[in-house]
Amino acid sequence: MSTFTSRTNIVTGNHEWVFVDDDQFDYQQELARSAFADMLHDHERNVQYEKAIIKTIDTLSKTLNRIHVLDIGTGTGLLSMMAARALRKTTCPSRITAVEVFQPMAKIAKKCIEKNGYHDQIHVIDKRSTELDLETDLQGDQINMIVAEVFDTELIGEGALRTFSEACKHLTIDNDNLRIVPSRAIIYVQLVESPFLQEFHTLKDLLKDEKRIRIPLDCRHLAGDTIFDLNANEIRDRLRPLSKPIPVFHFNFKSVDDRNNFTEEKILENILCESDGQIDAFVMWWNLDMDEDGEIQLGTIPSWCYDDKDKAQHIQWREHWIHGIYYPQQPKAVKANEHVNLYGFHDEYSLYFDVGSSPFPPRSFTPAFLSRSAMSGFNNDQRRQKYVEGLQKSFSHSSIHRCLYIGDGLLLPLLVLEMYPQIELIILESSNGHLVQTLKAILENSSNELTYRFIPTLEKDHVDLEKIDMILSEPFFTKSILPWDNLHFYYLLHQQTQPLNMKIFPQKARIRCIALEFDHLHKIRSPVQQCCQLDLSPFDEQILEASINVDAIVEPQSLFEYSSKKPTLSPIIDLIEIDFRRNYQDKLEKNHFDIPITADGICNGIAFWIDYQLEEDLWLTTGIETENDSWATYSKQGVHLLLKPLKMRAGMKLSVNAGFDFHQGQFLFDTLS
């Protein structure tokens, strides 16, 4: 049937629904978004699961007359096939029931199981395990082994607690004869000092020497209190542990405590701080006992917690399980050998931590009004300094008295009023009402010497552009997803009938790219082919076909979290430059580029970002300034992952077409070789 899909329209600045006349689109979109490939590329996960399955089946086959395995959330059927392979080596009668609520994946599981010759052992049911009926679905045949991979970064965020609890209550035999893979789990946290992580959570003061702008406490935490998912191994040098790992929550999946609707609250006293510092954040991870004896382990332990240096250097990369960053209600300064108390809480799906002394303040669940990267954008010192330099140059060479600010960013209007209080600043109200109220609250809390006013639209009744000396934007809009979505600023400028005779800040934008060899990021789109000697080609065929048909050719990624080979495979290439003063009308501009390859390697991705010219010879990047720089943390970049990575040698060229459709507000890109 026909359906609708959403996209960001940078012309209007809104999310919009686009009609798609394709009977298969909705199905394929669901499939492409399922992101199972990353799990299947997780070699450690797969190996440890199979070891535990083999050991558990071997144990049960010696004591039971019959084994009935329930695979919850079977996905491709991988774990069920591992169990089937192990059961064939026993003489014990057996049965495997695999459940998968996501119907497109259930169909793929059946194909993979058929492909590998296990269709006579495995029965796939496309429903939730919590909806299974012992008599109707399982014919009264009780389960004595459960295998499940229903975990996320927080361990419990996919409903693991209820999943195991319901299965154990309604579908299984007595606990003594029941085995679950994995058997148990522990959630750990570690107290860390990290000004870097604080940049993603707390708005910091503007300038050390100026105090006109004062940010009230209740305006500082705009990204909320939910988990910040982050691969902490990639920022090891930007945090400093202050304590040993702390085991907080323990779960036995055979006897999950469902009292109080799966909630648990505890205070751990006398946690030793090993050095002076400030507790800025908690790094959270978990570890699984895969078998009943706890001999087989699987977890998300950070690299710095391993005593084995070789293990730390070759830690399994994964995207589906990373680390959780949580924040105390207030950072806490500590001394070496000082003891603190840790508060921990979980409900059915989420975690919460705080540090201090009893009694702890009530739990805070502030909603998110800004993304973590936008918080970093406000706080990042290099970005701030660029704006400061740009404003100093702009205001030193001309007579500017009245400015208009456009956009959702908080930093630039506050900097203007902090640095130039004599300026009258007119602020176009953001479509994000929460940010408007936040900006007003900050300004009302600040010096009464400031001159500013808010306007609802750019209609002439609200602002006379002929009396505006300068229009400013960061540019940043909260509805933006890809870097060029913030070019909505250009469209707002040129929707006006009044002439743009004033100064524009920034003056220009340029979209840039670079060819890369990612160490791991490409795996999220790479075919699996075989996994643990099992043929998963039906999965590859369906997922990759769906991705080609419905996924955008460029996707947003925070590249500071994903390492790539250095030196880069190519220099930085400028694809298109946009002068904000010029009206491109409905022009479609597309050009051919030969990206020169300057280093040997495998090109598996191309990264894109946008730079803004604030003043002559002063550019602000949302990516990198030079080839081997670290990626900006305050903006997501665009990434095109090649379906077929290319082996490249220095001196070769990568041919691409790129451009911009000014009528539709869309970046255009495709690879030729």
Q: Identify the band that residue 155 occupies on the pLDDT scale cut at 50, 70 and 90.
A: very high
Bridging pattern class, strands 424-428 and 451-455: parallel
- Residue 444 phi, psi (nearest 5): -70, -25
**Distance (Å, whole) CA 555 – CA 640:** 7
What pLDDT, on a 0 to 100 scale, did the predictor assign at position 4?
A: 43
Q: Identify the band that residue 1 occupies on the pLDDT scale cut at 50, 70 and 90.
A: very low
194-203, 212-221, 334-343, 358-367: range with lowest mean pLDDT = 358-367
Question: Where is 666: in which H helix or E strand?
Answer: strand 666-671
Instruction: Tell me 317's DSSP state.
Output: P
Task: Answer yes or no: is pLDDT of 464 > 80.
Answer: yes
Q: Kindly list the distances between the CA atom of residue 380 and the CA atoms of 8, 202, 369, 563, in Å, as whole numbers in the listed order.
A: 26, 11, 18, 21
Give the pLDDT mean for 557-577.
96
Nearest partner of 69 among 166, 226, 178, 210, judged by Cα: 178
Q: Tell the residue number behind the tokens 């990042």, with chain if given.
A: 380
Give residue-wise pLDDT tens across range 277-286.
999 999 999 9
Residue 24 tokens read as: 């298969």
- What b/e sequence results for 298-318 when a residue is b if at least 16 CB atoms lie within 10 Å of its CB, and e otherwise? bbbbbeeeeeeeeebeeebbb
Task: Answer yes or no: is pLDDT of 187 > 50.
Answer: yes
State the alpha helices, DSSP H only, in 116-184: 160-170
Bridging pattern class, strands 246-252 and 277-279: unpaired
The answer to whether 206 and 415 are in contact (CB under 8 A) is yes
Strands (E), 253-401: 264-272, 277-279, 281-289, 297-299, 323-326, 332-334, 339-346, 351-356
Give residue-wise pLDDT tens across range 570-624.
999 999 999 999 999 889 989 999 999 999 999 999 999 999 999 999 999 999 9
Query: What is the separation, in whole angstroms, between the first and last Cα of the chain?
Result: 35
Nearest partner of 52 among 160, 184, 226, judged by Cα: 184
The answer to whether 196 and 561 are in contact (CB under 8 A) is no
Please state whether the peptide bond connecting residue 567 to the residue before it is cis, i.e. omega within 30 degrees of 0. yes
What pLDDT, on a 0 to 100 scale, did the predictor assign at position 2?
A: 45
Residue 657 tokens read as: 């077409």
The answer to whether 261 and 165 are in contact (CB under 8 A) is no
Burial classification of residue 98, based on how many CB atoms lie within 10 Å of its CB (0-12 exposed, 13-18 middle, 19 or more buried): buried
**Distance (Å, whole) CA 461 – CA 502:** 19
Q: How would you classify residue 256: left for phi > 0, otherwise alpha for psi between -120 and 50, otherwise beta?
A: beta
Q: Which residues pair with 200 in a beta bridge?
A: none
Please state whether the peptide bond connecting residue 216 to the residue before it is cis, i.e. omega within 30 degrees of 0. no
- What b/e sequence results for 355-365 when a residue is b if at least 16 CB atoms lie within 10 Å of its CB, and e otherwise? bbeeebeeeee
Domains within the chain, CATH numbers bracketed: 3-34 (no CATH), 38-181 (3.40.50.150), 184-369 (2.70.160.11), 373-505 (3.40.50.150), 508-671 (2.70.160.11)
What pLDDT, on a 0 to 100 scale, did the predictor assign at position 365?
A: 81
Give the pLDDT mean for 120-147.
95
Q: What is the mean pLDDT of the chain?
A: 92
Q: Kindly list the distances between the CA atom of residue 625 and the CA atoms of 358, 382, 434, 562, 612, in Å, as whole numbers in the listed order.
A: 48, 12, 33, 17, 11
